[in-house]
Every structure is written in structure tokens, then in C-alpha cells.
Amino acid sequence: MIGARLGSDMAIQKGAWFIRPIFMAVVLLTIVRLIYVNYGLPT
């Protein structure tokens, strides 16, 4: 609850220029993690 409140306040105050790079970094890390989990582990 606290994190959601702080995140929404920052999004409103700082705008898209602040949120877009954070969002893109999270998406990129998620893609890298999924690729690693599915294809990177030795079997």
C-alpha cells in the first residue's frame, strides 16, 4: 500500500520522463530473466 502510494505520487509529480525509463528497465529485466530461465540453465 505504501509503495503504491509513493509510486503514484511520484508519477503524478515527475511525469512520463521519469516513469518511462524505469518502466523500460523493468520490462527489459523481465525479458532477460525469462530468457535466462527458459534457455540459459544447463539441463
Chain segment 19-38, per-residue pLDDT in tens: 899 899 999 999 999 999 99
Cβ atoms of 11 and 19 within 8 Å: the answer is: yes
Inform me whether the pLDDT recorded for 41 exceeds 80.
Answer: no
Distances in Å between the alpha carbon of 38 and those of 3, 7, 25, 32, 41?
30, 31, 20, 10, 7
φ, ψ dihedrals at 39, nearest 5°: -125, -15
Residues with Cβ within 8 Å of residue 18, at least 6 apart in sequence? 10, 11
What CA–CA distance (Å, rounded) separates 36 from 30?
10
pTM of the model: 0.66
